[in-house]
Amino acid sequence: MLTVDVQQATPMPLAARFDCHAGELVALVGPSGSGKSTLLRCIAGLMHPSQGRIACGDQVWFDTGRRLKLPPQRRRVGLVFQHYALFPHLSALRNVALASARTDPLAHAAELLGRLGLDALAQRRPAELSGGQQQRVALARALARDPDVLLLDEPFSAVDQPARLALYHELAALHRSVALPIVLVTHDLHEARRLADRMVILDRGHTLQQGAPAQVLSQPRNARVAELVGIQNHFAGVFRRGDDPAWGRLQWGAHLELRVRDKGRIDDATPVTWVVAAEHIGVHRMAPSGPNVQRAVLAEALPLGDIALCRFEMADVDATVQLHQPTAALQRGELAVGETLYLQFDAAGVHIMPSRTAPSG
């Protein structure tokens, strides 16, 4: 298991702590300047934070308490850079072999290239390879070190969408086949959700939240996390305790209430912010049975390929709900701009947070 616990004030503030088990893929997610790549450099030994401890398995790589700083060459780390960093004058085979410590590095390199579907391109130089092929060569080179941990620094950002999808499959297959801790730096939430077992949300060098992607994206710890993970449906309200201790009421505006779960963490009449993931909102032409059904008008529908970004204006509160709906449903007339529809909010999917600075609506 890889464990990381680092702090520093300058030049890049850090207060980050996370771990990554063997066979697990952890995604570091945050905006530019949040410290994602800096943390990878700390793990690889390319920079040293002011304080902290980094260990992989039973080997400690960095510990300021013990004044221990292993250099990069003594850390078995496979690092895939954003722009590959391949030697342009060497073939793919020799780029990979150069990183191998095996007694027959060329055979080892050939094996790794074959595993990644590049055996027919082994003698080509980087300039003769596509971006996706170069990325797979870089991945093979990282694996050639027989690493204890694999670090991926935005590895898909420089390739086009078809190559990116192919690389997703490659990484998913690799993830299943190797028992390594894998740390992926990405700013793409869809990428993190698709590939990662856990997400670590970073902001200004601080760890704000970590957990399974579905949990983090539907239950952000606070309003800042909700903002960073791009939750569109984020509103203000007041929480009210109910007669049933398992359930409460969420006052939304002056005249609207939703039934929500009461986890016993928020007092009665507390101002809150709340979020609800799109998968917890149903769209209906006729009012369905059950709680939390509210009228809304489909104010706008913006087609984006096979899905459309739809903006619903609530009838009984000054608020807008944004959802993705199939473009085909609009083309078939199942949804029409200007139509009054019914939104049903799943009570289990409404996540409430104590309010500090409440959003409008």
Query: Helices marked H in the chain — which ranges?
Result: 36-44, 92-97, 105-115, 131-143, 161-177, 189-195, 213-218, 223-228, 327-331
Please report whether residue 168 resides in a domain. Answer: yes
Whether residues 138 and 250 fall in one domain: no
> Is the domain of 269 the same as that of 329?
yes
Q: Is 201 among the domain residues?
A: yes
Task: Note whether residue 360 is domain-resident.
Answer: no
Kindly calculate the radius of gyration of the chain based on its CA atoms and give it in whole angstroms.
Answer: 24
Distance CA 92, CA 121 (A): 7
Domain boundary among 226, 242, 258: 226
Q: What is the pLDDT along the chain (361 residues), one digit of tens a residue?
A: 999 999 998 888 999 999 999 999 999 999 988 999 999 999 999 999 999 999 999 999 999 999 999 999 999 999 998 777 899 999 999 999 999 989 999 999 999 999 888 989 999 999 999 888 898 899 999 999 999 999 999 888 777 777 778 888 888 888 888 889 999 999 888 889 999 999 999 999 999 999 999 899 888 988 889 889 888 899 999 999 988 889 999 999 888 999 999 988 899 999 999 999 888 999 999 999 999 999 999 999 999 889 999 999 999 999 999 999 999 988 898 889 999 999 999 998 999 998 764 454 5
In angstroms, rounded to a whole number, what is the distance separating the alpha carbons of residues 140 and 160?
Answer: 20
**Are residues 131 and 51 part of one domain?**
yes
Q: To which residue do tokens 């999917």 refer?
A: 349
Q: Residues 248, 236: contact at Cβ < 8 Å?
A: no
Specify the pTM: 0.85
Residues 161 and 309 in one domain: no
In a domain, 361, yes or no: no
Query: Domain for residue 359, yes or no?
Result: no
Rounded Cα distance between 248 and 352, Å, is 11
**Residue that terminates a domain, selected from 226, 247, 273:** 226
Tell whether 153 is covered by a domain: yes
Look up the domain containing 331 and give its range.
232-354
> Considering the domain boundaries, does residue 181 fall inside one?
yes
- Same domain as 182, residue 46: yes
CA 133 to CA 110: how far, in whole Å? Answer: 15
How is residue 43 written in tokens?
A: 């793990």
Q: Compute CA distances 216 → 138, 143, 181, whole Å.
A: 31, 30, 20
Same domain, 215 and 282: no
Residues in the chain: 361
CA–CA separation, 290 and 293 (whole Å): 7
Task: Answer yes or no: do 113 and 207 share one domain.
Answer: yes
- Whether residues 27 and 70 fall in one domain: yes
CATH number at residue 142: 3.40.50.300
pLDDT of residue 358: 43
CATH at residue 246: 2.40.50.100
Tell me which of 174, 208, 226 is where a domain ends.
226
Q: Report how many domains make up the chain.
A: 2
Quick one: 188 and 47 in the same domain?
yes
Helix/strand/coil for 62: strand
